Amino acid sequence: MNTLSIRNLHASIGDKPILRGLNLDIPQGEVHAIMGKNGSGKSTLAKVMAGHPDYTVTSGDVLLNGQSILGMEPDVRARLGLFLAFQYPMEIPGVTIANFIRAAVQARLPEGEELEATEYYAKLYAKMDELSIPRAFTSRSVNEGFSGGEKKRCEVLQMAMLQPRYAVLDETDSGLDIDALKVVSSGVNALRGPEVGMLVITHYQRLLDYIVPDKVHVMAEGEIVLSGDKDLALKLEAEGYDWVTAKN
Amino acid sequence: MNTETKPDINIDRSVGDFRYDVDYAFDAGVGLTEKTIDYICDVKGDPDWVRKFRKEGYKKFLEKPMPTHWASKDLENIVFENIRYYLSQGQVPKRSWDDVPEDVKRTFERLGIPEQERKFLAGVEAQFDSEAAYSNIKEAVGKQGVIFVGSTEGLQKHPEIFKKWFGKVIPSGDNKFSALNSAVFSGGSFIYIPPGVKVSHPLQAYFRINAQNFGQFERTLIIADEGSEVTYMEGCTAPKFETATLHSAVVELVALKGAKIQYITVQNWSSNVFNLVTKRGLAHEDAEIKWIDCNIGSRLTMKYPGVVMKGRRARGEVISIALAGDGQHQDTGAKMVHAADETTSNIISKSISLGTGRSTYRGMVHIPKHLKKCKNNTECDALLINANSRTDTYPAITVRGQGHSVQHEASVSQINAEQIFYMQQRGLSEAAAMSLAVNGFVNDLVQQFPMEYSVELKRLIDLEMEGSVG
Amino acid sequence: MNIVSQHQISSDLPAWFSEQQKQAWTEFQSVPQPTRHDELWRFSNLKILDLARWHLASAPADVDALLARSRGLSDLAAKLVFANDRLILREIKNLPEGVLLLPLEEAARDHEALFERYFMKHPTLLGSAKIAALHRAQLKTGAFLYVPAGVKVEKPIELWHWSEGDHIAIFPHTLVVCEEGSSASVIDHFFSMNNEASFVAGVNDLIVKADAHLKYIAVQNWSRETTAFHLNTTGVGKNAVATSLQLNLGGRYIRTESNSRLLEEGARSVMLSINPMDADREVDQRTFQDHLAPSATSDLLYHNALDDRSRSVFSGLIKVGTAAHETDAYQKVRNLMLSDEAEANSMPGLEILADRVRCSHGATSGELNQDELFYMMARGIPPQKAAKLIVRGFFETVLRRLEEPSLEKYFGHLLDRRLALG
Chains C and B touch, contact meaning at least 3 pairs of CB atoms under 8 angstroms apart: yes
Touching chains, A (3+ CB pairs < 8 A): C
C319, C351 in Cβ contact below 8 A?
A: yes
pLDDT surpasses 90 at B164 = yes
What per-residue confidence (pLDDT) applies to B9? 59
Classify B124 as helix, strand or coil: strand
Which of C346, C347, C365 minimises the CB distance to B404? C365
Chains B and A touch, contact meaning at least 3 pairs of CB atoms under 8 angstroms apart: no
Cβ separation of C355 and B69 shorter than 8 Å?
no
Which of C335, C342, C350 minimises the CB distance to B410? C350
Interface check A138 vs C, CB under 8 A: no
Cβ separation of B403 and C337 shorter than 8 Å?
yes
CA distance A217 to chain C (A): 25
Cβ separation of C325 and B387 shorter than 8 Å?
yes
Number of Cα atoms under 13 Å in the Cβ half of residue C295: 7
Average pLDDT (B316-333) is 95
Contact list in C for residue A95 (CB cut-off 8 A) is 389-390, 392-393, 396
Average pLDDT (B167-181) is 96
Q: Scan residues 340-359 of C and list those with Cβ closer than 8 Å to B.
A: 340-359
What per-residue confidence (pLDDT) applies to B240? 83
Interface check A216 vs C, CB under 8 A: no
Cβ separation of B402 and C339 shorter than 8 Å?
yes
What per-residue confidence (pLDDT) applies to B388? 87
What per-residue confidence (pLDDT) applies to B12? 62
Interface check B466 vs C, CB under 8 A: no
Residue type (1 letter), A83: F
Contact list in B for residue C369 (CB cut-off 8 A) is none
| Alpha-carbon gap, residue C325 to B389, rounded angstroms | 12
Interface check B375 vs C, CB under 8 A: no
Cβ separation of C380 and A78 shorter than 8 Å?
yes
Closest residue of C to B358, CA-based? C353
| Alpha-carbon gap, residue B470 to B5, rounded angstroms | 6
B67, B213 in Cβ contact below 8 A?
A: no
Which of A75, A83, A114 minimises the CB distance to C381? A75
Interface check C40 vs B, CB under 8 A: no
Q: How sure is the predictor about B467, in pLDDT bands with cuts at 50, 70 and 90? A: very low
B331, B341 in Cβ contact below 8 A?
A: no
Which of C325, C345, C367 minimises the CB distance to B403? C367
Cβ separation of C353 and B69 shorter than 8 Å?
no
Full DSSP string of C255-280? EEEEEEEE-STT-EEEEEEEEEE-TT
**C63 CB-contact burial (10 Å; exposed 0-12 / middle 13-18 / buried 19+):** middle
E-assigned strands of B209-339?
215-216, 219-224, 229-237, 245-247, 250-255, 260-267, 273-283, 288-295, 300-303, 306-309, 315-324, 329-338
| Alpha-carbon gap, residue C404 to B90, rounded angstroms | 77
Contact list in C for residue A51 (CB cut-off 8 A) is 377-378
Residue range B185-204, pLDDT digits in tens:
999 999 999 999 999 889 99
Q: Which residues of C370-397 are buried (b: 16+ CB within 10 A; e: fewer)?
A: ebbbbbbbbbbbbeebbbbbbbbbbbbb
| Alpha-carbon gap, residue A198 to A28, rounded angstroms | 8
Residue type (1 letter), A69: I
Collect all residues with Cβ–Cβ distance below 8 Å to B411 and sequence separation of at least 6: B380, B381, B382, C359, C360
Q: How many CB atoms lie within 10 A of CB C5?
A: 9
Cβ separation of C357 and B384 shorter than 8 Å?
yes
Cβ separation of A103 and C381 shorter than 8 Å?
yes
CA distance C251 to chain B (A): 21
Q: Scan residues 48-107 of A and list those with Cβ closer than 8 Å to C.
A: 50-53, 73-75, 77-79, 83-84, 86, 89-90, 92-96, 99-101, 103-104, 106-107
E-assigned strands of C104-150?
143-147
Cβ separation of C374 and A99 shorter than 8 Å?
no
pLDDT surpasses 50 at B2 = no
Contact list in B for residue C348 (CB cut-off 8 A) is 393, 395, 408, 410
CA distance B408 to chain C (A): 5
Touching chains, C (3+ CB pairs < 8 A): A, B
For chain C (422 residues), the mean pLDDT of every run of 10, in chain order, is 91 95 97 91 92 94 95 95 97 95 97 97 95 97 98 97 97 98 98 96 98 98 97 98 98 98 98 97 98 98 98 97 94 97 96 91 95 95 95 96 94 94 70
Q: How sure is the predictor about B237, in pLDDT bands with cuts at 50, 70 and 90? A: confident
pLDDT surpasses 80 at B6 = no
B390, β-bridge pairs: B358
What per-residue confidence (pLDDT) applies to B340? 98
Q: Which residues of C333-364 are buried (b: 16+ CB within 10 A; e: fewer)?
A: bbbbbbbebbbbbbbbbbbbbbbbbebbbbbb
Contact list in A for residue C380 (CB cut-off 8 A) is 75, 78-79, 104, 107-108, 162
Interface check C65 vs B, CB under 8 A: no
What per-residue confidence (pLDDT) applies to B456? 63
Contact list in B for residue C346 (CB cut-off 8 A) is 395-398, 408
Interface check B393 vs C, CB under 8 A: yes
Cβ separation of C376 and A92 shorter than 8 Å?
yes
Instruction: Tell me which residues of chain A have a pLDDT lower than 50.
Output: none
What per-residue confidence (pLDDT) applies to B463? 42
Cβ separation of B401 and C337 shorter than 8 Å?
yes
Contact list in B for residue C361 (CB cut-off 8 A) is 393, 408-410
| Alpha-carbon gap, residue C294 to C326, rounded angstroms | 6
Closest residue of C to A103, CA-based? C381
Cβ separation of A75 and C370 shorter than 8 Å?
no
Interface check C380 vs A, CB under 8 A: yes
Cβ separation of B412 and C353 shorter than 8 Å?
no
pTM of the complete model: 0.90
Classify B390 as helix, strand or coil: strand
Cβ separation of C349 and B393 shorter than 8 Å?
yes
C122, C233 in Cβ contact below 8 A?
A: yes
| Alpha-carbon gap, residue B237 to C12, rounded angstroms | 72
Contact list in C for residue A52 (CB cut-off 8 A) is 374
| Alpha-carbon gap, residue C131 to C48, rounded angstroms | 11
Cβ separation of C365 and B370 shorter than 8 Å?
no
What per-residue confidence (pLDDT) applies to B465? 28
| Alpha-carbon gap, residue C381 to A158, rounded angstroms | 13
Which of A92, A93, A103 minimises the CB distance to C385? A103
CA distance C420 to chain A (A): 13
Full DSSP string of B303-367? E--EEEE-STT-EEEEEEEEEE-TT-EEEEEEEEEE-STT-EEEEEEEEEE-TT-EEEEEEEEEE
Cβ separation of A78 and C369 shorter than 8 Å?
no
Cβ separation of C380 and A75 shorter than 8 Å?
yes
Average pLDDT (B73-100) is 91
Q: How sure is the predictor about B452, in pLDDT bands with cuts at 50, 70 and 90? A: low
